[in-house]
Structure formats: structure tokens, C-alpha cells
Amino acid sequence: MNNQKFSLQPFGDGKLLPNLTITGNITRHANQLHLCYVLSGDLEKVAIAPPSNTPQRKHELWENTCFEFFLGVKDSDKYWEFNLSPTGDWNIYRFDGYRQGMQEETAFSVLPFNVQHQSDGLVLELEMDLNNINLVKEILQIAITTVIKCKDGEVSYWALTHHGKEADFHLRDSFIIDL
């Protein structure tokens, strides 16, 4: 079993952001991946849509507050982008290379995850079976990211690390967790 804690950093100087922290942990045990995000701080300024009664696959979730992670296979250009909305909506995209060949990943018909709205934060937990995309024996390289949209319309981009001149979660230099 491989378990790693993380803390995300905002892109840029972060001066215009509300007082937020995004932490969590990611664990891989055989074919199971467990990911937990904890968003805490001044959430009154963050636009967080209420939970949906019927969560579903949706496009462009990153235009609002959205928890994301990217899974790449070591020594391969191929990777997946996972989008998890606090509403319960989700999507997964498969790429052949850097922003190339984007397709919706059809190996998943559901992506169940838990969102807990708490008085001092929000917790999102995902348990995923890697068998769906045949990654059981592969070494995975992972980037953990979040888009935060504030009620005033400002958007901030959070990641383990930022390597570009602008926020770009797809840069493989940002896939810094090996599992």
C-alpha cells in the first residue's frame, strides 16, 4: 500500500484569494485508488453548488469549483483527467498526449464519490477501481488539482506544483506523485 499526503498551492501570488487550504491524501492498494480532498477556510466566499439529487456525467465542470486529478502511466504520454464537482457530478477524459486526442473515458458509467459539507469545510472522498482502465500493474504518476471559483467570479487554480507561465494542469512535470 502506498499512501501520500498532499497540500495544494494556488497559482500566482494568491493575494486576491480567500483564506483557503486544500489538503488531503491519496492511497493506492493493489487495484484500488482512494483520494480524499479537504477544503477549509473562508468558504463563505467560495461558490459551491449544492449537491445534486441525481449526480451525472457532465462536461466543463472545471468552469466552477471542481476537484480534479490527473493519472498518467510512467514512461507513456497517455493520461486521464478526472473532474469531481461538489454537486456529485463528474467526468473522465482520456488523452493520447499533452492536450491531444481528448475523449470521454467510457470505461466508467459511474464514478461514485462522497461529498461532506461541514461547518468549517468540505470533504470529498473517492474510491476507484483501476481495473476499469487496466492500470493495475502500471506505475502511476499523479497530479492533484482544484479549481476554486469565488462568488465574485474570480477563479483560482490550485495544484501540487505549478511549472508553466500560466496555470496548466496538463503539464506532465506536474504529475509528481508516483503510486
- Give the pLDDT confidence score for residue 164 in this predicted structure: 86
> Which of 31, 9, 40 has its CA nearest to residue 157?
9
Domain, as residue range, for 111? 2-178
What pTM, to 2 d.p., does this model score?
0.95
Give me the number of domains the chain comprises: 1
Q: What CATH number did the domain enclosing 149 receive?
A: 2.60.40.1190
| pLDDT tens figures, 148-158 | 999 999 999 99
Asked if pLDDT for residue 76 goes beyond 70, the answer is: yes
The letter for the amino acid at 41 is G
| pLDDT tens figures, 80-134 | 999 999 999 999 999 999 999 999 999 999 998 999 998 889 999 999 999 888 8
Q: Average pLDDT in the 44-68 region?
A: 95
Residues in the chain: 179
